[in-house]
Amino acid sequence: MNSFETLDWLVVAAYFAAIGGIAWWVMRQRTKDAADYFLASRHVGWYVIGASIFASNIGSEHIVGLASTGADSGVALGHYELHSWCVLLLGWVFVPFYLRSRVFTMPEFLELRYTPKARWFLSVISLIAYVLTKVSVTVYAGAVVFETLMGIEFWTGALIVVTVTGLYTALGGLRAVVYTDTMHSAVLLIGSLTVAGVGLAKIGGWGNVIETVGPEKLNMFPPMDSDFPWLGLLLASPIVGIWYWCTDQCIVQRTLAAKDEQNARRGAIWAAYLKLFPFFIFMIPGIIAAALRMKGQLEFEVSDQVFPTMVKTLLPVGIRGLVAGGLLAALMSSLAAVFNGCSTLFTMDIYKKLRPNASEESLVHIGRIATIVVVALGILWIPILRGFSSSLYQYLQNVQAYIAPPITAVFLLGLFWRRINGTGAIVALVGGFILGMSKLIAEVFKDGLTGILGWYAEVNFLYFAPLLFLFSVILMIVFSLMTKEPSAEQLKGLTYSTTMAEDRLKSRASWGKAELVHTVIILAIIGSVMIYFSPWGVGG
């Protein structure tokens, strides 16, 4: 197996020097106030927004976990990677409400739509979710990349990832994150396409991959009795997708920084195009790695090492260093998005509520401290994460399936049905969260459970997510109808039926023919990919 050489190290060093230069330039621009620190003064263009959304999403679960899943299970979980349509929903459906409300955070939007209690609870849920998923998973994967690719001890690598990312995020705020994200996205796409191309060349083309791995790994619609039943995939992935792409602070915060609604929508469309790539540049290389392993052309000890091993083994010196820099940069982008999102949530939704007269300077200071605390909690969760699942990506989908449904229900019904009130929302959030966390705890300790608890722990996460969503919807409807209807004044501009005519016309005027055409193209690409990787295509 090839090892890192001097030129590789020099290329990585040069790459991170460039990142440092951008961050330093941003830090020299004086931070004016909280809006400047957390939302880059709401003056970001669509091309930066789209690239930043993509880079924020493309983190550990893709670089390490998605290739691992492809090698282990095939393309079944690719449903979660064809969520470009959810990014389109963000731009076309959700963004107009968010921008008109001038909020900093998603919990703040829930306070306007429902009650302050809803804001408090979503803030706490979101911070817990970031610790369980984004922070711990990204740090873990960064350490795997360091260990597999560069030979650096696991926890040393984890410390490096946290320290470097935390510094430029805490000091530079969202402006530092979005501008470094733009560079990360370009390097990551080029590097990952290179890995896939070299892997295909080594095995002799896509036809040999199909012949070697067989149709089972190439079917996005597995049988109902499999680990990833097709019905569960079709029901669960949209619920998680809408939560992640349309209500998650780390993603939505990029659109909140837009110059206007048109730039926010175009940024979402650009991100939707970029979101089409992960399926091909991470999951497909995992399939290629499985084929190479079957033919004795590639060796890796555990599946989480698949992609770093391909980089280390297949690429020539120098190129290997550049791609390694891209991998680490993507990990850092995802982590930086979480850091900035967490600091925004804690500062604006918790600290500012407790200290309403806090100065702009103190808000920025508290945001930086919140980043450090969240990082520490995420690192403490890593030992549990390592023993939870053999696949990092599957772990992530499991946990998200237990967190997303009640939040998706509260946002969706809140926009489309004016009768839903704060009581229904808070009951759904609390009840759904308790049920979801009970499922997560049952899975963590399933080896010691028997009887009905043992059965509960074994329920497939793909079936649990839609059931939890239905449970949350029922709670919302029942408790809303049993209590007082929200006033028209409170709902003004926050639901479709209460949006003023002039606001609708203004939003409609920001639409362009090109945006509609590109939306149709993206949907057509998604449909074509799903048909190709189905029982009627190569998966049959």
Count: domains in the chain: 1
Decide if 416 contacts 260 (C-beta within 8 A): no
pLDDT reported for residue 211? 93
Q: What is the pLDDT of residue 420?
A: 95
One DSSP character per residue, 374-428 reads HHHHHHHHHHHHHTT-S-HHHHHHHHHHHHHHHHHHHHHHHHH-TT--HHHHHHH
Is 268 within the bounds of a domain?
Answer: yes
Whole-number pLDDT of residue 528: 96
Q: What is the pLDDT along the chain (540 residues), one digit of tens a residue?
A: 456 788 888 888 887 787 777 767 766 655 444 444 444 445 577 888 888 788 778 765 677 788 888 998 899 999 998 999 999 999 999 998 888 888 878 888 999 999 999 988 888 888 888 888 877 787 777 788 778 877 788 778 777 777 777 665 655 554 555 666 667 667 777 878 888 899 999 999 999 999 999 998 999 999 998 889 999 999 999 999 999 999 988 788 888 878 888 888 999 999 999 999 889 988 999 999 999 999 998 888 777 788 888 888 888 888 888 888 777 776 776 777 677 777 777 887 788 888 888 887 787 788 778 877 877 787 787 777 766 655 677 888 889 999 999 999 999 999 999 999 999 999 999 999 999 999 988 988 888 788 898 899 899 999 999 999 999 999 999 999 999 999 988 898 889 888 877 778 888 888 888 999 999 999 999 999 999 999 999 977
> Measured between alpha carbons, how far is 141 from 327 in angstroms, rounded to an integer?
10
DSSP per residue over 97-165, as a string? HHHHHT-SSHHHHHHHHS-HHHHHHHHHHHHHHIIIIIIHHHHHHHHHHIIIII---HHHHHHHHHHHH
29 within some domain: no
Q: Extract the tokens encoding 520.
A: 């149709």
pLDDT in tens, 47-103: 888 887 887 787 656 777 888 889 988 999 999 989 999 999 999 999 988 888 888
pLDDT for the residue 37: 46
Residue 38 lies in a domain: no
Residue 22, in any domain of the structure? no
Whose CA is closest to 457, among 439, 475, 479? 439
Q: How far apart are CA 270 and CA 185, in angstroms?
A: 12
H helical segments located in 260-355: 261-275, 277-278, 284-294, 306-314, 319-345, 352-354
In a domain, 42, yes or no: no
Distance between CA atoms of residues 374 and 370, nearest Å: 6
- Summarize pLDDT for 341-365 with one digit per residue, the tens: 777 778 877 888 888 888 877 877 8
Tokens of 418: 């004016």
Question: From CA 513, how far away is CA 107, in angstroms rounded?
Answer: 33
Convert 373-389 into a string of H (helix), E (strand) and C (coil).
HHHHHHHHHHHHHHCCC
Contacts of 261 (CB under 8 A, 6+ apart): 95, 96, 99, 506, 507, 510
Structure tokens at 207: 């036809």
The answer to whether position 30 is within a domain reads no
For 449, counting Cβ atoms within 10 Å of its Cβ (0-12 exposed, 13-18 middle, 19+ buried), the class is middle
Which residues, 6 or more positions from 7, have their beta carbon under 8 angstroms from its beta carbon? 317, 318, 321
- The single residue listed with the structure tokens 């209590």 is 483
- Beta carbons within 8 Å of 198's beta carbon, 6+ residues apart: 314, 315
pLDDT for 87 = 94
CATH code of the domain covering residue 438: 1.20.1730.10
What is d(CA 91, CA 487) in angstroms, rounded to the nearest whole number?
28
242-246-248 Cα angle (round to 5): 100
Single pTM value for the model: 0.85
Query: 527: domain range?
Result: 6-14+47-532
Alpha-carbon distance of 477 to 419, in angstroms, equals 9
- The amino acid sitting at 312 is K
- pLDDT of the residue at 391: 66
